[in-house]
Amino acid sequence: MQTQDVFFIDGVRTPFGKAGEKGVYWKTRADDLVVKTMIGLLERHPDLPKEAIDDVAIAAATQYGDQGLQIGRSASILAGLPLSVPGYSIDRWCAGAMTSVTTTGSAIGIGAYDIALAGGVEHMGHHPMGEGADPNPRFLAEKLVDPSAMNMGNTAEKIHDRFPHLTKERSDAFAVASQQKAAKAYADGKIQKDLIAVSAASDAGWNLVTTDELLRPESNLEGMKDLKTPFRPHGKVTAGNASPLTDGATMSLIAGEGAVKKYGLKPKMKMVSFAFAGVEPEIMGIGPIPATEKALAKAGLKMDDIGLIEINEAFAIQVLSFLDHFGLADDDPKINPWGGAIAMGHPLASSGVRLMNQLARHFEDNPKVRYGMTTMCIGLGMGGTVIWENSNYKG
């Protein structure tokens, strides 16, 4: 085997829907969502032989029901891939799809694979966060983990506690800006380029879902002020400055330089480095900080070298802690230029590839930017970061 460069060729996603009985995907199976992304992605590359795909990695934070039965393999069969193409499932909670990409990318990098599909799905309506989990009693009895670590909203409140200068007002302002940027990106036709429309059943019949359901472009600071704080009395985390519960799926095509040449693929970006890091579970939102420091060190880069950043907006305060640590302004234009999860939603294990899709499009629009990154916090105290090089770079 021979080592080779690893490229993000393309990525797609479903529009994201509101989790629960009132959401557009309530009567749609999770595996059907991810199958839709696989078919839609491969239709964009008709000259790529399906039998050339070496593996399929699909993430889900809940591995049962319509997200079970080895969804990496079962969805591959449902999508019509040859039975010779294997598949497997991944779980790293919010960073599931990110891990799908880094794991298959690593296999490609050492020459074991040439091409892979990597993505994730989360139907939070069918599978609420943590449902069916049975945490070992030692977690709490032996104080291995603070009880607040078991609730993501509480972990966000703890970041406010640790960094009081990161105020609720700043979180609200960041959230409003995310909504505004997402609305503008939709108006400019940016986000739609990588959306795969989904036919979804409802009591009224069938609907064609073509846009994210949870966008709130009318959001403003005045309206944010008095929202309830569900995680603690007089808290700072609200439905306005946090990502909503969401259903959706993502998929990416990852390939090595050999396959790029053989099949005439056009890479959007090259994987430079990646890293995952652990932090205290009860303050998991700061996870992207050490993960980014590790990824930068492995790449031999500094934050000043990074021209575009897609960071998952699980909570506004989590993003603010990252920006504050690296000396970046709350409104730095290189951060989430089209908004983020606060506006579009965060279907847990699928979100990593959404970040990559958007970064790849930013690279197309900004050929003078050489390096970018995708980064996110992960439940139970982790962070993940991938650094990418722009394939359209013209220095």
Active-site residue, 45 included: no
Please pick, among 127, 160, 362, 377, the residue that the annotation labels catalytic.
377
- Encode 119-148: b = buried (16+ Cβ within 10 Å), e = exposed: bbbbbbbbbebeeeeeeeeebeeeeebbeb
* Calpha distance 348→346 (Å, rounded): 5
What are the contacts of 77-80 at 24+ separation with CB within 8 A?
A: 78/31, 78/32, 78/35, 79/35, 79/38, 79/39, 79/42, 80/39, 80/50
DSSP string across 67-102: G-STHHHHHHHHTT--TTS-EEEE--GGGHHHHHHH
Which candidate in 94, 126, 160, 362 is catalytic? Answer: 94
State the Cα–Cα distance between residues 317 and 168, nearest whole angstrom: 8
Active site residue 94: yes
Q: How far is 249 from 72, CA to CA, in rounded Å?
A: 13
Tell me the C-alpha distance between 100 and 61, whole Å. Answer: 12
Residue among 123, 126, 160, 346 flagged as catalytic = 346
Of 61, 48, 4, 98, residue with least CA distance to 380:
61
Whether 165 is a known active-site residue: answer no
C-alpha distances (whole Å) from 156 to each of 101, 104, 242, 346 are 27, 31, 9, 15
Catalytic residues: 94, 346, 377
